[in-house]
Amino acid sequence: MTVVTLAEARAKLSRLVKQVEDGSISEVVIVRNRKRAARLVPISDNRGAGQRLGLLAGRFAPMARDDFDADSRAIGELFTAIENKPKS
């Protein structure tokens, strides 16, 4: 990990992007006013990708299409009842 100030990042952005892209630097942290402000990482770095897929796998019983649509029909009937309600 390389840490640079915002001014350094502005001056060396092309070089930093090239180094991150070719893998010679894993990431660049840009600081502003001594606080971390941003990270420059390669797009191909998928560390966070896919973590949510399968998050609830196995926690709920499989649902058939008819079971899923049953709720839609019940909700639809509620709206129909509201629309047909006499106005007072």
DSSP codes, the chain: -EEEEHHHHHHHHHHHHHHHHHTSSS-EEEEETTEEEEEE--TT--SSTTSSTTTTTTSS----HHHHHHHHHHHHHHHHHHHTSPP-
34-87 pLDDT, tens digit per residue, is 999 999 998 864 565 556 667 777 888 877 777 767 667 778 788 877 666 676
| pLDDT score recorded for residue 35 | 95
How high is the pLDDT of residue 59?
83
Sign for the CA dihedral angle at 59, 62, 65, 68 comes to negative
At residue 7, the pLDDT reads 96
Domains defined for the chain, CATH in brackets: 1-44 (3.40.1620.10)
Q: Is the confidence at residue 31, as pLDDT, over 80?
A: yes
